[in-house]
Amino acid sequence: MEFLVAIKYTIDTGINAIINKRTNSFYSVLDLSTEYNCSITKMKSILNSLQKKGVIYELVNWIPIEEKNEDERKRALFINPEVFFSKSENDINLILASTVKKNDVIERNNIKLPFKIAVERGSAMLYRKLNFKWIN
């Protein structure tokens, strides 16, 4: 959770991606570890944990553009809009929304969140669950 709070200012409002706003590009693991003052191993562990939990998604382009090691390669990381959305709840990136719906780790683990993605007629949005209650 601490990492998500720290990166909230790097989340692009259009596509919910974690963006280096100084370079207007995706981060590499090396960039993230430098930016947040931790080891590459620790950053990989954080990212892998958040991916396994369905909080972060990595959309991969399989066309090899550059031969770099994994730590230096830019990674297209996106925050699950059900966890945090940076734009309007009625304007969610369709590709990200479709990916989340298809691979909904949070739902499979029976974790209840106040918002759920709906994909209909070529658009995506969040709807508020009417029966959602915060656990005290």
List the structure tokens of 29. 């693991």
Nearest to 75 by CA among 86, 61, 88: 61
Determine, yes or no, domain membership for 51: yes
Q: Where are the alpha helices (DSSP H) in the chain?
A: 2-7, 29-35, 40-52, 94-102, 105-108
Mean pLDDT of the chain: 82
Q: What are the pLDDT digits (tens) for 102-132?
A: 888 988 888 888 888 888 888 888 888 765 5
Determine, yes or no, domain membership for 19: yes
* Alpha-carbon span 46 to 49, nearest angstrom: 5
Determine, yes or no, domain membership for 11: yes
DSSP class of 17: B
Determine, yes or no, domain membership for 89: yes
* Residue 123 belongs to domain with CATH number: 1.10.10.10
Determine, yes or no, domain membership for 135: no
Q: What are the pLDDT digits (tens) for 68-95?
A: 555 566 778 999 998 888 777 777 888 8
Determine, yes or no, domain membership for 133: no
List the structure tokens of 86. 């940076």
Determine, yes or no, domain membership for 107: yes
* Alpha-carbon span 87 to 84, nearest angstrom: 9
Does 66 have pLDDT greater than 60? no
Q: How many domains does the chain have?
A: 1
Determine, yes or no, domain membership for 117: yes
Q: Which helix (H) or strand (E) holds 124?
A: strand 123-128
| Domain membership of residue 84 as a residue range | 2-128
Q: Which helix (H) or strand (E) holds 116?
A: strand 115-120
